[in-house]
């Protein structure tokens, strides 16, 4: 991957080219990423890949009209022509009513809570060791087949804007995703993420996946309806991704959010606090400045059950007459890393609280039927269990999670105390989450077809 000096040199070259075109404002971001992947299936390492990529992203402004594009490093010479074409394409569009200039640099920026993990660059063979540890653990705990992926990234990122911002960020992250099988229908899943390789606990997540696969061997159908439910850490991460995506002020403005007109309203019990924290030590997505050069900070999205903030960039802050809170996105704001505050309940206590109901271990392919109402459905798999008197009786097949996010949030009964950082490819809004499990009252389920 390219050095930080190399990236600054690329930015300077692109900046000189852009200035000649006659734009009113611009932002240039250059990111270099060394990414390594190890995939395993049927108890064997099946694929190892390495990518070394550099991408150049350019935003140009003219007469309160804005366009953005990205190219690979090999296409750098195309940037002047692409910038001209972008300005030509937007010149007949009306000026943005929500236009606000690129922000001036902040007076103070937070220090990064963690450096790049050098082992991700210097010792890639450790990824193979982790994959093997996950396989061996799953098999030793009763799984017949173990599969999964470990992906590690080392990034270097430079941002320069016409408003005077100029800085760089260096970060790393890694995640492990494991699925265990005792049969085609009897599966388990768990994942873990971190800034550093040392925090990737392969034995822990492989053990969870193998346990759920074993428990899933005795599988029965139950009737559709409403069930008290414990959503495991991985399933809760999927649900909280929906909250993070819906908290974007762009989603609110476009009508793709169940949080429209909910700012300042109580949307969950007081025990729920959800923050966005790009400064989390060992966080998967650490950032000290956003894509417009604004200093990042910890921000409560939900505070003691009350929706306290939407996520803003300069355009949405202007439109909502709100503070820019460092969540740019050139075109739309987004969350960096969601953190759910822990509760006091152990896993056993969560099962006792629901008494008679279900455990859902994984929610995938979540689709909204109505964004404003927040109604959605999801495939549930990798460990769905029926519980009575706080004990797992058998696994469950034939159900689909079908409810609304306002109902799920407002019906939270208890929050677990054990947390894990989660990231995997099917999180709908691509947001890493640190969360415990949660218990929710009367969650809706329909028949799966």
Residues 290-300 have a mean pLDDT of 98
C-alpha span between 208 and 217 (Å, rounded): 15
The confidence score (pLDDT) of residue 114 equals: 87
The confidence score (pLDDT) of residue 449 equals: 73
Token reading at 137: 């653990």
Q: Answer whether the bond into residue 329 is a cis peptide, omega within 30°.
A: yes
Residues 207 and 225 in one domain: no
Position 420 confidence tier, pLDDT thresholds 50, 70, 90: very high
C-alpha span between 206 and 315 (Å, rounded): 44
Order across the sheet with 274-276: list the strands. 306-307, 299-303, 274-276, 338-340, 433-435, 420-422
CA 360 to chain centroid, in Å, comes to 20
Tens of pLDDT, residue by residue over 37-67, are 999 999 999 999 999 999 999 999 999 999 9
64 contacts 88 by C-beta, under 8 angstroms: no
**CB neighbours of residue 75 within 10 Å:** 12
The confidence score (pLDDT) of residue 426 equals: 82
The confidence score (pLDDT) of residue 273 equals: 98
Is the pLDDT confidence value at 92 over 90? no
The SS3 call for residue 182 is coil
167 contacts 109 by C-beta, under 8 angstroms: yes
Tens of pLDDT, residue by residue over 374-416, are 999 999 999 999 999 989 999 999 999 999 999 999 999 999 9
Residues 284-294 have a mean pLDDT of 97
Residues 183-204 have a mean pLDDT of 96
Residues 203 and 278 in one domain: no
Residues 306-324 have a mean pLDDT of 98
C-alpha span between 347 and 351 (Å, rounded): 7
Residues 241 and 127 in one domain: no
**CATH code for the domain in which residue 96 is found:** 3.30.2290.10
Domain of 241 in residue numbering reads as 219-447
Helices and strands counted in the chain (H then E): 10, 22
Position 440 confidence tier, pLDDT thresholds 50, 70, 90: very high
State what percent of residues in the chain have pLDDT above 90.
95
The confidence score (pLDDT) of residue 1 equals: 85
Torsion over CA of 248, 252, 258 and 259, rounded to 10 degrees?
A: 70
Token reading at 403: 């409810």
Residues 200 and 261 in one domain: no
Residues 302 and 158 in one domain: no
Residues 146-155 have a mean pLDDT of 97
The confidence score (pLDDT) of residue 425 equals: 82
C-alpha span between 258 and 255 (Å, rounded): 8
- Which of 215, 235, 257 is where one domain is finished? 215
Residues 161-167 have a mean pLDDT of 97
The confidence score (pLDDT) of residue 39 equals: 97
Residues 225 and 204 in one domain: no
C-alpha span between 295 and 56 (Å, rounded): 22
Judged on CB neighbours under 10 Å (0-12, 13-18, 19+), 219 is: middle
Strand 433-435 relative to strand 438-447, pairing: unpaired
Strand 299-303 relative to strand 166-181, pairing: unpaired
- Residue located via tokens 């989660």: 422
Residues 351-366 have a mean pLDDT of 96
297 contacts 326 by C-beta, under 8 angstroms: yes
Backbone angles phi, psi at 59, to 5 degrees: -115, 130
The confidence score (pLDDT) of residue 430 equals: 94
The SS3 call for residue 383 is coil
C-alpha span between 30 and 155 (Å, rounded): 10
Token reading at 152: 């590690």
Residues 174-193 have a mean pLDDT of 96
274 or 424: which leads in pLDDT: 274
- Which of 196, 215, 234 is where one domain is finished? 215
The SS3 call for residue 270 is coil
Residues 185 and 74 in one domain: yes
Tens of pLDDT, residue by residue over 189-199, are 999 999 999 99
Domains of the chain: total: 2
Q: What angle do CA 196, 234, 410 make, to 5 degrees?
A: 125
Residues 362 and 230 in one domain: yes
- Which of 176, 196, 215 is where one domain is finished? 215
Residues 135 and 279 in one domain: no
Torsion over CA of 376, 214, 396 and 371, rounded to 10 degrees?
A: 0
DSSP state of 311: B
Residues 130 and 33 in one domain: yes
Residues 90 and 148 in one domain: yes
Residues 201 and 272 in one domain: no
């Amino acid at each position: 991957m390219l050095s930080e000096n190399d990236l600054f040199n690329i930015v300077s070259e692109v900046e000189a080219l852009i200035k000649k075109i006659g734009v009113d404002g611009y932002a240039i971001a250059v990111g270099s990423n060394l990414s390594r992947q190890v995939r395993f299936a049927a108890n064997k390492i099946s694929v190892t890949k390495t990518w070394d990529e550099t991408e150049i992203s350019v935003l140009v402004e003219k007469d309160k009209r804005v366009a953005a594009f990205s190219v690979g490093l090999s296409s750098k010479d195309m940037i002047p022509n692409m910038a001209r074409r972008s300005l030509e394409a937007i010149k007949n569009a009306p000026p943005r009513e929500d236009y606000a200039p690129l922000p001036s640099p902040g007076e103070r920026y937070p220090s990064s809570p963690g450096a790049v993990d050098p082992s991700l660059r210097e010792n890639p063979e450790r990824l193979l060791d982790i994959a093997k540890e996950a396989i061996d653990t799953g098999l030793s705990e009763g799984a017949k087949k173990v599969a999964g992926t470990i992906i590690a990234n080392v990034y270097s990122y430079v941002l320069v804007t016409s408003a005077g911002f100029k800085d760089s960020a260096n970060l790393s992250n890694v995640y492990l995703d494991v699925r265990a099988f005792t049969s085609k229908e009897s599966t388990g899943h768990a994942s873990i993420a971190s800034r550093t390789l040392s925090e990737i606990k392969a034995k822990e997540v492989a053990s969870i996946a193998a346990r759920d696969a074993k428990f899933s061997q005795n599988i029965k159908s139950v009737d559709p309806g409403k069930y008290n439910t414990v959503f495991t850490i991985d399933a809760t991460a999927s649900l909280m991704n929906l909250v993070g995506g819906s908290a974007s002020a762009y989603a609110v403005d476009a009508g793709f959010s169940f949080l429209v007109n909910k700012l300042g309203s109580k949307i969950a019990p007081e025990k729920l606090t959800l923050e966005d924290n790009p400064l989390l030590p060992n966080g998967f997505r650490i950032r000290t400045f956003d894509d417009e050069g604004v200093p990042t900070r910890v921000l409560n999205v939900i505070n003691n059950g009350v929706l306290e903030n939407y996520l803003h960039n300069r355009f949405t802050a202007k439109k909502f007459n709100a503070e820019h809170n460092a969540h740019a996105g050139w075109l739309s704001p987004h969350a960096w890393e969601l953190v759910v505050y822990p509760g006091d309940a152990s896993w056993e206590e969560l099962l006792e609280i629901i008494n008679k109901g279900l455990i859902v271990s994984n929610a995938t392919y979540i689709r909204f039927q109505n964004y404003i109402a927040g109604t959605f459905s999801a495939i549930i798999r990798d460990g769905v269990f029926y519980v009575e008197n706080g004990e797992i009786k058998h696994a469950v097949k034939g159900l689909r999670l079908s409810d609304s996010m306002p109902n799920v949030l407002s019906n939270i009964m208890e929050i677990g105390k054990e947390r894990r950082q989660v990231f995997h490819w099917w999180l709908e809004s691509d947001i890493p989450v640190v969360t415990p499990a949660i218990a929710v009252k009367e969650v809706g389920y329909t028949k799966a077809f």
